[in-house]
Amino acid sequence: MRGCGFLLALVAMGLFATTLLAGNGLANTVVAFKIEGDAVQTPLNGLVGAPGRGRRIVIDRQTGNCLICHSIRSIDEPFQGVIGPALNDVGRRLSPGQIRLRMIDQRRINPTTIMPPYYRIRGLRDVDPVYRGRPVLDAQQIEDVVAFLTTLRE
């Protein structure tokens, strides 16, 4: 029974640390994921994405800023990018798992890409202090963007 008390104390400390970190905006850590071929088939943390939230992230110039490089014909936003491929039919071309891996870290597929990793914190250089030690998008945001992009089938 003594072992159980110690375990409960560790769990309590972990919950306290998580709460403390969340209050400081540092709970956005990277959870483990499994790459299978060119995809991450399982949603991060088992989360379900919401296409509406994903659309807002894609459009938002402060959060996802996807339209700086990509374009989406069905979105009425000025100054869409031409550096990356158009995303009009990405939901038809790629599976959710393939989209997820590209969001996590496109370099896993194309080491010469200029697309930033949205869910990686190790091995990065010249990171803005706002993003040091945390991914650009958290697991829920990644899943939201995946949910939105899979709806694009034009």
- CATH of residue 137: 1.10.760.10
Instruction: Give the separation between CA 54 and CA 57, rounded to whole angstroms.
Output: 5
pLDDT at 7: 33
Same domain as 74, residue 24:
no
Helices and strands, counts by H and E, the chain = 5, 0
Q: What's the number of domains the chain is made of?
A: 2
pLDDT at 125: 86
- Give percent of the chain with pLDDT exceeding 90: 74
pLDDT at 132: 87
Q: What is the pLDDT along the chain (154 residues), one digit of tens a residue?
A: 444 333 333 333 333 333 333 333 434 689 999 999 999 999 999 999 999 999 999 999 999 999 999 999 999 999 999 999 999 999 999 999 999 999 999 999 999 999 999 999 998 888 889 888 999 999 999 999 999 999 999 8
CA angle 18, 106, 93 (to 5 degrees): 115
Residue with tokens 């709970």: 27
pLDDT at 146: 98
Instruction: Give the separation between CA 111 and CA 105, rounded to whole angstroms.
Output: 10
Same domain as 21, residue 62:
no
Beta strands in 45-120 (DSSP E): none
Parent domain of 23? 1-30
Neighbour-count burial of 14, counting CB atoms closer than 10 A to its CB (0-12 exposed, 13-18 middle, 19+ buried): exposed
Same domain as 8, residue 42:
no
pLDDT at 28: 60
Instruction: Give the separation between CA 63 and CA 96, rounded to whole angstroms.
Output: 21
CA atoms within 13 A on the CB side of 46: 0
In a domain, 66, yes or no: yes
CA atoms within 13 A on the CB side of 123: 7
pLDDT at 33: 97
Model's pTM, two decimal places?
0.80
Residue type, 96: P
